[in-house]
Amino acid sequence: MTELSIRPVRYDAEPARTLVLAALADLAVRYDHPGGDDTPVDPAEFDPPGGAFLVAWLDGRPVGCGGWRSRHGGDEAAEVKRMYVAPEARGRGVALALLRALEDSARQAGRKRMVLETGYRQPEAIALYGRAGYARIGDFGYYKGTEGVRSFGRDL
């Protein structure tokens, strides 16, 4: 039997740190870009009440992560960052469960909307967000205006 649990962890603590590095390594390969993602991220942005960072555990092993941070300039929207599921855990519902847990956390903190950026070389992510009720929105954030960026949003 498979047991999935999702718990808050500080962005800069283990195992979050290791999972974030794996996410960035994955992006580096997909986009042939050394750092994977140049978006400025301050670990404190994921501290409550202005954000949260969650780790998904499958059968006692950390296999996924994701966080939300308050959108710059307001308390209405939460931005999803660093969504990642390890290859060995993909296809088992971890990503959707993690996304729903992030939405619940943001909703409990008073956020009304979730937004995110992803890219055209992440078809699995694009498909997940579509299945989860996210729709394309105008591009925003660090990669606004960059070819291949895909921005999505969903009211909570």
Distance, CA of 91 to CA of 100 (rounded, Å): 16
Per-block mean pLDDT, blocks of 10 residues, the chain (156 long) = 91 98 96 90 95 97 97 81 97 97 97 95 96 96 90 96
* Other CB atoms within 10 Å distance of the CB of residue 140: 18
CA atoms within a 13 Å half-sphere pointing along the CA-CB vector of 58 = 17
Query: Which residues constitute the domain of residue 150?
Result: 4-155
CATH number of the CATH domain containing 65: 3.40.630.30
Q: Give the pair of three-digit tokens for residue 134.
A: 């996210």
Contact in structure between 23 and 84 (CB atoms under 8 Å): yes
Q: Model's pTM, two decimal places? A: 0.95
Instruction: Return contacts of 80-84, CB within 8 angstroms, 24+ apart.
Output: 80/114, 80/115, 80/116, 81/39, 81/41, 81/46, 81/116, 82/11, 82/19, 82/20, 82/23, 82/41, 82/53, 83/23, 83/116, 83/125, 84/19, 84/20, 84/22, 84/23, 84/26
Indicate the number of domains in the chain.
Answer: 1
pLDDT of residue 73: 57
